[in-house]
């Protein structure tokens, strides 16, 4: 899923004892975007679990009163954001019974979900962002995580969106000012040396 | 990413990327002018003519104008910005932190939001509360830097439920690629794009046909 482009990224190692993995919107309703990255999302989850990084799943649900979102996307039936009538996670997603699942109704995983409070309670200082889509929910969550004082890592191979141009735009901006870009291989190397 | 072609350069700035169109509602709208400070003078000065036109247009329709002034007072407010930018930040009390002198700022009516110390104009500033009290539902984003504080503020405004307009000619950043990346993403899912020409036509039309 990466373009292979060098974004001039900064590098920093994840600190597993201070980190949480956030898995955003890996749901059936977005399956055109989520199905292709299921292997890398699951690999990221597995790597994180191997060093005891907590995994938090975010699920997007619709709020009919959320005016501005409706304005942009209408009633969703003509968009690629309602490919399934449920809010279920994608089949095969490595979510476990004890995992924390939070529901959101807008692009940010932090908006009225309790995520920030939960992370602070857990002593988490850094987040790894995965899921869909790169330039909307993932990037918004990444930017807001930064603004709230979290160190942000952003996965380039466990995130996805429709357009290479929009992905490129997102990664360019994130690497410039918000996030350390990572991928499965980098995390595997990093966690092995811990 | 390729350089803008001659053809693209002559198009109104929003045409390249806009997907949805809408005009701001003057009675429900506020203009946010983000971080037009000496620290950013190199990138900010070139947009001052367009920005001042935007400010004056808004003021003529009694749209409130709010300026942000990003500044840090002590290491306790550096946050992640300090780590990312090696503590090369904008410090309160230095000329660097002052608003540019040739902005169309009217101290008698405009508000200057002083508490901003991270990318979003809404974080820790009271901006949302101020706007809600004024019954504002829409914001027009201008200022610098397009892809950092402007875009983050636009995204934050959106998730807080505001309708967002982003100005394509009254925002600026360090290079065209980053500026255009923001406009693409904003048009995709967050904002209606505007510029001076569009604001002039939509604000004046509304004046002629009083609703």
Give residues with Cβ within 8 angstroms of B25, minimum separation 6.
B137, B138
Interface test with B, best of A113, A135, A148, A173 (most B CBs within 10 A): A173
Q: What is the pLDDT of residues A144-154, one digit of tens each?
A: 999 999 999 99
Predicted confidence at residue A77, as pLDDT, reads 66
* pLDDT score of B164 more than 60: yes
The residue ranking higher by pLDDT, B15 or B106, is B106
Q: What is the mean pLDDT of residues A112-129?
A: 98
> Has residue A56 been placed in a domain?
yes
- Determine, for residues A172 and B177 on separate chains, whether the beta-carbon distance falls below 8 Å: yes
> Has residue A108 been placed in a domain?
yes
A114's tokens? 């309790």
Please, are residues B149 and B119 in contact by the beta-carbon 8 Å criterion?
yes
Contacts 24+ apart (CB under 8 A), B101-109: B102/B48, B102/B52, B103/B33, B103/B36, B103/B48, B103/B51, B103/B52, B103/B55, B103/B67, B104/B51, B104/B52, B104/B55, B104/B56, B104/B59, B105/B67, B106/B59, B106/B65, B109/B59, B109/B64, B109/B65
Q: What is the mean pLDDT of residues A177-188?
A: 96
* Mean predicted lDDT score pLDDT of chain A: 92
User: A35 lies in which domain range?
Assistant: 15-193
Q: Write phi, then psi, for B170 (nearest 5 degrees).
A: -115, 25
Predicted confidence at residue B203, as pLDDT, reads 87
* Mean predicted lDDT score pLDDT of chain B: 89
| A66 — pLDDT class (breaks 50, 70, 90) | confident
- Determine, for residues A136 and B184 on separate chains, whether the beta-carbon distance falls below 8 Å: no
* pLDDT score of A23 more than 70: yes
Q: What is the pLDDT of residues B119-130, one digit of tens each?
A: 999 999 999 999
Asked if B195 has any chain A CB less than 8 Å from its own CB, the reply is no
User: B180 lies in which domain range?
Assistant: 23-210
Specify the pairing of strand B138-144 against strand B29-34: parallel
Give residues with Cβ within 8 angstroms of A112, minimum separation 6.
A104, A105, A106
**Closest partner CB to A135 (pick from B120, B161, B188):** B188
* pLDDT score of A99 more than 90: yes
If we measure between CA atoms, which residue out of B119, B120, B172, B185 comes closest to residue B143? B172
Asked if B120 has any chain A CB less than 8 Å from its own CB, the reply is yes
User: In the 8-state DSSP scheme, what is residue A17?
Assistant: G
Q: What is the dihedral of CA B105, B110, B111, B117, to 10 degrees?
A: -30
> Has residue B8 been placed in a domain?
no
Asked if B149 has any chain A CB less than 8 Å from its own CB, the reply is no
If we measure between CA atoms, which residue out of B37, B146, B134 comes closest to residue B92? B37
User: Hey, CA dihedral for B165, B170, B175, B177, is it positive or negative?
Assistant: positive
Q: What is the dihedral of CA A25, A28, A31, A37, to 10 degrees?
A: 60
- Determine, for residues A140 and B155 on separate chains, whether the beta-carbon distance falls below 8 Å: yes
In a 3-state reduction of DSSP, which class is residue A140? helix
- Determine, for residues A146 and B119 on separate chains, whether the beta-carbon distance falls below 8 Å: yes
CATH code, domain with A56: 3.40.50.850
> Has residue B11 been placed in a domain?
no
> Has residue B85 been placed in a domain?
yes
Q: What is the pLDDT of residues B7-16, one digit of tens each?
A: 434 444 555 6
> Has residue A1 been placed in a domain?
no
Q: Report percent pLDDT > 70 for chain A.
A: 92
> Has residue B160 been placed in a domain?
yes
User: In the 8-state DSSP scheme, what is residue A160?
Assistant: E
> Has residue B17 been placed in a domain?
no
Q: What is the mean pLDDT of residues B104-119?
A: 95
Q: What is the pLDDT of residues B21-76, one digit of tens each?
A: 889 999 999 999 999 999 999 999 999 999 999 999 999 999 999 999 999 999 99
> Has residue B14 been placed in a domain?
no
Q: What is the pLDDT of residues B173-186, one digit of tens each?
A: 998 988 988 998 89
> Has residue A8 been placed in a domain?
no
- Determine, for residues B178 and A173 on separate chains, whether the beta-carbon distance falls below 8 Å: yes
CA–CA–CA angle B176, B191, B21 (5° rounding)? 105
Q: Report percent pLDDT > 90 for chain A.
A: 75
Asked if B142 has any chain A CB less than 8 Å from its own CB, the reply is no
In a 3-state reduction of DSSP, which class is residue A141? helix
Q: How many domains does chain A have?
A: 1
> Has residue A57 been placed in a domain?
yes
- Determine, for residues B123 and A177 on separate chains, whether the beta-carbon distance falls below 8 Å: no
In a 3-state reduction of DSSP, which class is residue A91? coil
If we measure between CA atoms, which residue out of A85, A23, A88 comes closest to residue A57? A23
In a 3-state reduction of DSSP, which class is residue A147? helix
B158's tokens? 């959106």
| C-beta neighbour count of A70 within 10 angstroms | 14
* pLDDT score of B169 more than 50: yes
Predicted confidence at residue B55, as pLDDT, reads 97
Interface test with A, best of B138, B148, B159 (most A CBs within 10 A): B159
What whole-number distance in Å separates Cα of residue A51 and Cα of residue A48? 5
Q: What is the mean pLDDT of residues A74-100?
A: 86
Asked if B118 has any chain A CB less than 8 Å from its own CB, the reply is yes
CATH code, domain with B72: 3.40.50.850
> Has residue B140 been placed in a domain?
yes
> Has residue A2 been placed in a domain?
no
| A193 — pLDDT class (breaks 50, 70, 90) | low
> Has residue A5 been placed in a domain?
no
> Has residue A170 been placed in a domain?
yes
Instruction: Give the ipTM of the model, two decimals please.
Output: 0.93
Q: How many domains does chain B have?
A: 1
């Amino acid at each position: 899923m990466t373009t292979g482009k060098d974004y001039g990224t900064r590098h920093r190692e994840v600190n597993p004892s201070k980190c949480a993995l956030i898995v955003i919107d890996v749901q059936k309703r977005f399956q055109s975007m989520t199905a292709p990255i299921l292997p890398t999302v699951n690999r990221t989850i597995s790597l994180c679990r191997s060093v005891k990084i907590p995994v938090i799943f975010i699920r997007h649900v619709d709020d009919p009163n959320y005016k501005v979102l409706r304005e942009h996307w209408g009633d969703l039936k003509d968009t690629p954001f309602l490919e399934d009538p449920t809010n279920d996670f994608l089949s095969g997603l490595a979510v476990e019974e004890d995992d924390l699942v939070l529901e959101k109704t807008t692009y940010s995983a932090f908006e009225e979900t309790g995520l920030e409070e939960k992370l602070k309670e857990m002593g988490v200082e850094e987040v790894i962002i995965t899921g869909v889509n790169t330039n909307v929910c993932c990037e918004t969550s990444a930017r807001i995580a930064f603004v709230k004082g979290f160190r942000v890592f952003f996965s380039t191979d466990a995130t996805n969106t429709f357009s290479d141009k929009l992905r490129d735009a997102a990664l360019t901006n994130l690497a410039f000012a918000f996030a350390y870009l990572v991928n499965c291989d980098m995390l595997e190397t990093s966690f092995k040396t811990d | 990413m390729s350089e803008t072609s001659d053809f693209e350069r002559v198009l109104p700035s929003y045409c390249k990327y806009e997907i949805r169109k809408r005009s701001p509602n003057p009675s429900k709208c506020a203009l946010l002018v983000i971080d037009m400070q000496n620290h950013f003078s190199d990138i900010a000065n070139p947009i001052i003519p367009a920005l001042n036109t935007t400010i004056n247009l808004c003021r003529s329709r009694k749209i409130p104008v709010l300026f942000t002034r990003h500044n840090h007072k002590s290491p306790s407010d550096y946050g992640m910005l300090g780590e990312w930018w090696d503590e090369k930040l904008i410090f309160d009390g230095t000329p660097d932190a002052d608003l540019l002198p040739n902005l169309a700022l009217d101290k008698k009516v405009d508000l200057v939001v002083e508490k901003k110390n991270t990318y979003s104009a809404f974080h820790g500033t009271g901006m949302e509360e101020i706007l809600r009290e004024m019954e504002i539902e829409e914001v027009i984003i201008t200022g610098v830097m397009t892809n950092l504080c402007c875009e983050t503020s636009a995204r934050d405004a959106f998730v807080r439920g505001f309708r967002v307009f982003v100005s394509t000619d009254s925002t600026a950043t360090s290079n065209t690629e980053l500026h255009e990346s923001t406009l693409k993403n904003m048009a995709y899912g967050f904002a209606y794009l505007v510029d001076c020409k569009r604001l002039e036509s939509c604000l004046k039309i509304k004046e002629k046909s009083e609703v």
